[in-house]
Amino acid sequence: MFLIDAHLDLSMNALEWNRDLRASIQEINDREKNLTDKPDRGKATVSLEELRKGNIGLVVATQIARYVDKSSTLPGWNSPEQAWAQTQGQLAYYKVLEREGELMPIRNLEELKGHVNYWESSKDAKKKIGYLLSLEGADSIVSLEYLEIAHAYGLRALGPAHYGPGRYAQGTNATGGLGPMGRELLAKMKELNIILDATHLCDDSFWEAMEHFDGPVWASHQNSRALVDHNRQFTDAQFKELFARNAVIGMPLDAWMMIPNWIRGESTPQNTGLTLAHMIDHLDHICQLAGNTNHVGLGTDLDGGFGREQCPSDLETIADLQKIPELLSKRGYSVQDIQKICHQNWLSFLNRVWA
C-alpha cells in the first residue's frame, strides 16, 4: 500500500540530533549507543531507507524553531531572527537531499501528480521521496514579508503554534487567542494559499483561527481528547469543525497521546501493552464521529523527539506502518476505506486546495 505520512521532523533530526538520514537505521542507532543527551538516543525509527521500505513515498516534512522570551522555561531561540536562521539551515538540509537525489519537492498540483505517477511506476531501488514543506510553529516568521519569502522557496503548510505561548498563537499547555498579529498571519496565509495546520493550537486559538480563516485547514498529527484527556488533543467539537472545513486529520504515534496515564520515564510500550491498535482506536473514534472515512490519514511524528521507547511496541521502524492496512481490515474497514486512510484523503485534499 502506498502511504503518505503528514508529519515528520526530518531536518530537525539531521541538524539537532546529528542523524545522517541517508544511513541505515542500524548505523544511525549504532552511532548513538554511547549518547545520553536525549531519551531516544539509539532508538531512532526513521531513515530514508526505512521510508522506502515502507512504501512511504510522500511526507510532510517540517521546519521548526521556537522563540522564547526571558520568562520561558521551554527550549528555544532568544530572537525571531535566530529562529528564522535555524529554519534556513533546515531548509538547506532538504535542498542538499534534493541535489543528492534523495528527495523531491512537492509544491503544486503538477509536481504532486508527477511524483505519484513516478513513485508508482519507477523500478528504482532508491526512489526519490516526495516532501511537502511545512513550518511547525510560526515564531520564526519575523514579519509577514518573511512568510512571502518562505512561500517562494516552497512552504505550503504552517502551524501557528507549537508548545507554549507563541508570537502568533498559543499552543499546547498555553491559553489565549491569536491577537492582531495572528489574525494578520492568517490573512497572509489565505492570500498565499498556505494550508493552516491546526495541530497544537490551544482551544482559544483554535476557535479564533476557525473564525478568522476560511482557507484550507488540516491537522497533520492530532489525536482525540475523548480517549486521552489532555489539552494537546482535540475535542469532538473541534473534530466536527474540521469535518465541516473538509479537513484531514493525521494520526500520530507518540505513546502518551495514544493511551491515558502514560508516565514519562516509567511507562514503556511493553509494560503498558501499547500497540498500533491504540492508534486505530483514535482513528476509529474520528471516523465514527464523522460517519465516514474521509477525514483521517497518517501523521506519525515518529521522529518528533522520541523513538522506540515511546511508540507502539509492534513498530521497530517507520517501515512497519505497512502493518496498518491489515489492522484496519481486521476492524472491518473496506479496501477503499483503507486506501483513503493510507493516502487518498491527503491526495484528494491537495488536489482540491491546489486545483
Query: CA–CA distance from 256 to each of 204, 265, 310 (Å)?
Result: 23, 11, 8
Question: What does the domain layout of the chain look like in residue ranges?
Answer: 3-354
Are 116 and 100 spatial neighbours (Cβ–Cβ below 8 Å)? Answer: no
Q: Which CATH class is domain 3-354?
A: alpha beta
pLDDT at 285: 98
Paired strand residues for 196: 158, 217
C-alpha to C-alpha distance for 181 and 106, rounded to whole angstroms: 29
Q: Are strands 249-251 and 195-197 parallel, antiparallel or unpaired?
A: unpaired
pLDDT tens profile 63-107: 999 999 998 999 999 999 999 999 999 999 999 999 999 999 999
pLDDT score, position 318: 98
Answer whether 188's CB lies under 8 Å from 213's CB: no
Which residue do the cell numbers 544511525 mark? Answer: 28
What is the C-alpha separation between 45 and 308, in angstroms, rounded? 7
Q: With contact defined as beta carbons under 8 Å apart, do 38 and 305 qualify?
A: yes
User: Which amino acid is residue 140, in one-letter code?
Assistant: S
Taking 70 as the pLDDT cut, the residues of the chain under it are none
pLDDT at residue 237 in the model: 98
Distances (CA, A) of 3 to 80, 85, 140, 291, 298: 35, 32, 30, 23, 8
Neighbours of 116 (CB within 10 A): 18
Three-state DSSP at 351 gives helix
Give the cell for residue 29: 542507532
Helix or strand run (H / E) with residue 298: strand 296-298
Ramachandran assignment for 177, one of left (phi > 0), alpha (psi -120 to 50 degrees), beta (any other) = beta
| Per-residue pLDDT at 187 | 98
| Phi, psi (rounded to 5 degrees) for 163 | -90, 140
The answer to whether 214 and 268 have CB atoms below 8 angstroms apart is no
Q: Which residues pair with 3 in a beta bridge?
A: 56
What is the rounded CA–CA span in Å between residue 353 and residue 185?
A: 19
251 in Cβ contact with 284 (< 8 Å): no
